[in-house]
Amino acid sequence: DSDRVRETAEQLLAVRPGSATALEGLAAAAFSRGDHEAAARFCFRLVETSPGHFEGWFNLGVAHQKAGRFTDAAQAYAKAALLREDAPQVHMNLGIVHQELGDLPQARKSYERAIALDPSQTAAKWNLALVLEQSGEADAAEDLYDRLLAGNPDWQEARFRQGYLRLQRGDFRGSIDAFERCLALNSAWLEARLNLGIAYWKVGDRAEARRAFEHVLAAQPDCVDALRGLAALALEAE
C-alpha cells in the first residue's frame, strides 16, 4: 500500500527530520508510483544524511538510470560498489549504464566482475556478449552465446545472434541451423527468415533462398533486402 507508506513516512519525517527509515519509505513509495524524480530526491537526501547507506546509493543509481541520467547513475552505483564491492547487481547495473554511455571497456569490466561474483548471472553474460560484438570480438561473443544456449536452448535472441555471427564468418551451414531453430520457435520472425535466405543463397540452394525471400516479401512487401536477394537470384539464373 504505497499511499499509506508515503503518508506514514511523511508523518515520521515530520517528527524525526532526517530519519533514514522515513526517507527509505518515501523513496519506496515514489518508485512504486513510477516517480523516479521524487525517488532520486529522497535517495539523495538519504545518502546525504547517511553516506554509508549502501541501499541508498544503489537506489539512487536506479532512479537516475530509469530517468535516463546515466552519468549520474554510474556515479551513484560506483559509490555503492565502494561500500559493497561483492554485490553482483551493482556491477551488473554499472555495466548497463556504461554501455548506454558508450564506454564499452568499462561496461565489459563491470559485467565480467558481476559474472565472477555470481556465475549464474545470465543477463550479465548476455550483455557482455553484446559488448564483445560491439567491440569487434566476434569469436569471444559467439563462444559466450554458445555457452548461454547450452543452458538455455530456447533463448531466441541468443540463437539469432549465434546464427548472425556464423553467417558473418562464413559458417553458412551452422547459420542455417541456427536460423531454422529460431523459426521453429517463432515462424513470424522475418529478420531470421531473411538471414536464412541469405545463408541458403551462400551455400547454393537457390530454391530455399527464394522461398525464404518470398516469404519475407509476402509479409513485408517493401523489404528492400528481400527484393535485393530475389534480384540477385534472378541474375544468377539469367
Rounded percentage of the chain residues whose pLDDT exceeds 90? 89
Q: For the segment 121-158, what is each residue's pLDDT rounded down to a tens digit?
A: 999 999 999 999 999 999 999 999 999 999 999 999 99
Residue type, 148: L
pLDDT confidence of residue 58 = 96
Q: State yes or no: pLDDT of 187 exceeds 90.
A: yes
Q: State yes or no: pLDDT of 225 exceeds 90.
A: yes
pLDDT confidence of residue 118 = 95
Q: State yes or no: pLDDT of 230 exceeds 90.
A: yes
Q: For the segment 35-51, what is each residue's pLDDT rounded down to a tens digit?
A: 999 999 999 999 998 89
Residue type, 229: G
Q: State yes or no: pLDDT of 17 exceeds 90.
A: no
pLDDT confidence of residue 11 = 93
pLDDT confidence of residue 134 = 94
Q: State yes or no: pLDDT of 19 exceeds 90.
A: no
Q: State yes or no: pLDDT of 162 exceeds 90.
A: yes
Q: Residue 99 — very low, low, confident or very high, per pLDDT cuts 50/70/90?
A: very high
Joined together, the cell numbers standing for residue 11 give 508523518
Question: What's the chain's average pLDDT?
Answer: 95
Q: Residue 1 — very low, low, confident or very high, per pLDDT cuts 50/70/90?
A: confident
